[in-house]
Structure 1
Amino acid sequence: MELLDIKNISSSWGIEISNFKKLSERATLVFTTDEEKFIIKRKDNLEHFNSELKLIGLLRSKNFFTQFPLYNKQGELSVPYQNSNFAIYNYLEGSTFGAEESLLNPKIPNLLGETIANLNKIMASADFLREFPSKDLYQLVYGFAVKEIIKVDPSEELQNVYQQVEEEIKNLVNILPKQLIHRDAHIHNIIFDNNSLSGVIDYEIVEVNVNIFDICYCSTSILSEVFTNEKLRGMWINFVANLVCTYNQVNPLSDSEKGSIWHVMLCIQSIFMAYFSSNEDIYKINKAMFQWIYENRNNLERKILLNVN
């Protein structure tokens, strides 16, 4: 979008824009002439947006901090513009933790674990699950990801790994508790201000899936940023153990969930490998992460069980 487009959109809210910064394909940070900041987001599907609003309303009713869209001058939460719809959200003051910082500061896994646990507890109480897509993690991996991976990387070693863990993953996915999850709970969507939560953002891809997906996704998002640094990579398992421990204190995990962290991480890496199968460099780093997590099963599970039990 150009500045003129942003001004046209924001005029429905009576906001005068002086400058902007593109954050992603769907989100733009805007600066007003009064030196205020807001986020403009593109909403391609109003039905999904309405479901998102219902979830945000539930979170706010439970005093959980998050972004919320603002009503415009017509009393609406979005406006149509050039074959799409746009909403404006309040800007949350604060910053996100960096991956290296998250490994070096022992307070951070506790803050992240507590935040995701509280988020998942509230989302588990939602009675409108049918408004969100429901995903089968086993089918995502073996019905989609593995097939895409084999197209570009038909290595016997990789196929043997998938054969070895398939029955375990299939059985665990069938028994793991499922609920609404954030689905994108990486460290850059969790904002803090002086170690106090400012809010969790971006609920565009919320879905029904296994409960522990969010803590596993948060963990692998950090590993992806430090993986090439051997020292930091070695610290990551302790980070995961502390994250899971704090999560469990706030939102207790079942024995099956505690024993499935490793499996869900492999599933997440497989999905990333499939998604980036056409990008050789990104595929290689995600494959290396997959193999490293696979090889470190005993160390990871031992650390988790020592901290959680």
Structure 2
Amino acid sequence: MQPSDIIKSGIIYIEQNLKTDITAEELANMAGYSVWHYHRLFVQSTGMSVSAYIGKLRLNRALNEIAGGRRAIDVALEYGFDTYAGFYKAFVRMYGGSPKNYLSKSEVSVMFTEKELREILSNWDVQQDLPIIDVYTMDGTKISGNVWLVGEDYILKAGSRERMLTNMKVAKALAAQGFVASTPVLSKSGKEYLDKGQIVVLTRGIKGNPLSKPDRFGESRREFGKKYGESIARLHKALTVVESEIQPYEQNLYTHVTEWALLEVRKQNIKFNMGLPDTFFEDYINNFGILFDKLPKQLIHRDPNPSNILFDGGEVTGFIDFDLSERNVRLWDPCYCATGILSEWRGVDHIYEKWPDILEGIIRGYDNVNPLMFEEKQAIFYVICSIQMICTAYFEGVPAYKELAKQSREMLKFIWENEMHIRKVLARAVQIEGD
């Protein structure tokens, strides 16, 4: 085995065992080299020492999980830091600022210039003068993150190593199950991706576009809602087949909300005079607590917002952006799709009057393809509240998202104020008698 392959093997081992105690001695023994010789090769290959490389990778992985909504102290301890203070100090030394400030500035994203994108594209055997443009929804909203349309047939995406590799693994697994998926195009060197600080992948585009707001909220909104729900249910059936291959992180939604998001929302409830009564929180804690353990959990998409579900000719053609896939209650995805549509209130008249129709369609469509258990039908409202509390808590904690935090509070208040109507809509969608 060549020295470069030995170092590459060591890096893979580090990546797979970040939450354990890894030493240069251990890696050198695995390679059959002296510690001194292994360390010299490692520095030549990566530009940093073994301990520095492991420390930086742990900080990056921890930051990604914190950005996804996990409690910082839990993540810090899992990645080998004795205290959150230890994690905080290590992060400041590495990045020159606090984790919170770093997240608020960049969403852990590396920006690329036009020249850099052209240089990156030259690694693939595709027409080099194709236009490289940002990706927008049909109503003019830019899709978040580093995603570019290359000509009419390709998509270039960049993201953190862990997220992008998981994304590719899910896409390939779905393609094997007969779904249209954005699998990677091999580069000239035969690789599936490039490492440019972030992983960069070129994929063939999926035919279709996100549904426009006029369609989502138009006369056929209930029918389009049904198609959203049916497509998510079909996606879930495929994801159950590949879950063991993906080995996703598992999120305990009830604990995540009751130990973090709900507490933060209670603070905002007082600070911003939201008017949510104590009974709202007590009902959530008591009743959802009883239902939660009975809810089916599985690998989910986690971010099936309207921008990530593509339509062509009035039918769903595929999904994009599986970067946040995790194991969670399966209700998360249809409920997240519904709240994602509700969040697009700008420019839509009477959105709060129209949204329940869309919600009904989504849940009915899901239940038709992937029948919901009785406990799931009872828990839909609480999952919607869970998602909204998580968004409200998270956005308020990021300075750049203050406007989104305000919008999330308004949505949560609307959901609470219209609880009875929403429950009736949900009962009709899943045909609960006498509710």
Give per-residue Cα distances to partners, 1:175-232, cap 9 Å, x unaligned: 2110001000011111111123331110000000000100001111111113785633
* Selected match of 2:292 from 170, 173, 176: 173
Instruction: Quote the residue 2:11 is aligned against.
Output: none
Q: Larger C-alpha radius of gyration, 1 or 2?
A: 2
Give the Cα separation in 2 of the matches to 1:262 and 1:66.
31
Equivalences for 1:196-207 in 2 at 5 Å?
A: 196-207=315-326
Give the Cα separation in 2 of the matches to 1:118 and 1:256.
21
Instruction: Quote the residue 2:405 is aligned against.
Output: 283
* Selected match of 1:154 from 254, 270, 273: 270
Give the number of aligned pairs. 303
Q: Normalising by the residue count of structure 1, what TM-score does the alignment of the two structures yield?
A: 0.89
Give the Cα separation in 1 of the matches to 2:352 and 2:287.
26
| SS at structure 1 position matched to 2:189 | coil
Report if the CA contact (8 A) 2:134-2:148 is conserved.
yes
In structure 2, relative to structure 1, the CA distance for the partners of 1:21 and 1:174 (3 Å cut) is: same
Instruction: Quote the residue 1:13 is aligned against.
Output: 124
| SS at structure 2 position matched to 1:126 | helix
In structure 2, relative to structure 1, the CA distance for the partners of 1:57 and 1:18 (3 Å cut) is: closer
Instruction: Quote the residue 1:138 is aligned against.
Output: 254
Q: Normalising by the residue count of structure 2, what TM-score does the alignment of the two structures yield?
A: 0.65
Give the Cα separation in 1 of the matches to 2:295 and 2:199.
37
Give the Cα separation in 2 of the matches to 1:112 and 1:89.
24
Residue 78 in structure 1 maps to residue 193 in structure 2 = yes
CA shift for structure 1 position 129: 6.6
- Higher mean C-alpha deviation, range 112-121 or range 122-131: 122-131
- Higher mean C-alpha deviation, range 57-66 or range 16-25: 16-25
Gaps of 5+ in 2: 1-111, 136-143
Q: Which amino acid aligns with 2:123?
A: S
Gaps of 5+ in 1: none
Report if the CA contact (8 A) 1:117-1:247 is conserved.
yes
Residue 52 in structure 1 maps to residue 163 in structure 2 = no
In structure 2, relative to structure 1, the CA distance for the partners of 1:230 and 1:87 (3 Å cut) is: closer
| SS at structure 1 position matched to 2:217 | helix
Q: Which amino acid aligns with 1:85?
A: I
In structure 2, relative to structure 1, the CA distance for the partners of 1:143 and 1:17 (3 Å cut) is: farther
Instruction: Quote the residue 2:238 is aligned against.
Output: 122
Q: Which amino acid aligns with 2:421?
A: N
Report if the CA contact (8 A) 2:224-2:361 is conserved.
no
Report if the CA contact (8 A) 1:100-1:226 is conserved.
no
In structure 2, relative to structure 1, the CA distance for the partners of 1:37 and 1:125 (3 Å cut) is: closer
**Identity rate of aligned residues, in percent?**
27
Give the Cα separation in 2 of the matches to 1:307 and 1:41.
37
Q: Which amino acid aligns with 1:181?
A: I
Instruction: Quote the residue 2:98 is aligned against.
Output: none
In structure 2, relative to structure 1, the CA distance for the partners of 1:77 and 1:253 (3 Å cut) is: same
Report if the CA contact (8 A) 2:228-2:316 is conserved.
no
Which structure is higher in RCO with an 8 Å CA cutoff and minimum separation 6?
Answer: 1
CA shift for structure 1 position 136: 0.8
Give the Cα separation in 1 of the matches to 2:209 and 2:383.
28
Task: Looking at secondary structure, tell me which structure has more strand per residue.
Answer: 1
Give the Cα separation in 1 of the matches to 2:267 and 2:192.
44
Report if the CA contact (8 A) 2:180-2:206 is conserved.
no
Report if the CA contact (8 A) 1:192-1:198 is conserved.
yes
CA shift for structure 1 position 301: 1.9
| SS at structure 2 position matched to 1:89 | strand
Residue 224 in structure 1 maps to residue 343 in structure 2 = yes
Instruction: Quote the residue 1:30 is aligned against.
Output: 150
* Selected match of 1:305 from 427, 431, 435: 427
Report if the CA contact (8 A) 1:129-1:180 is conserved.
no
| SS at structure 2 position matched to 1:70 | coil
Q: CA RMSD in A?
A: 2.2
Q: Which amino acid aligns with 1:98?
A: S
Instruction: Quote the residue 2:157 is aligned against.
Output: 41
Q: Structure 1 stretches (4+) deviating beyond 6 angstroms?
A: none
Give the Cα separation in 1 of the matches to 2:224 and 2:344.
16
In structure 2, relative to structure 1, the CA distance for the partners of 1:154 and 1:130 (3 Å cut) is: farther
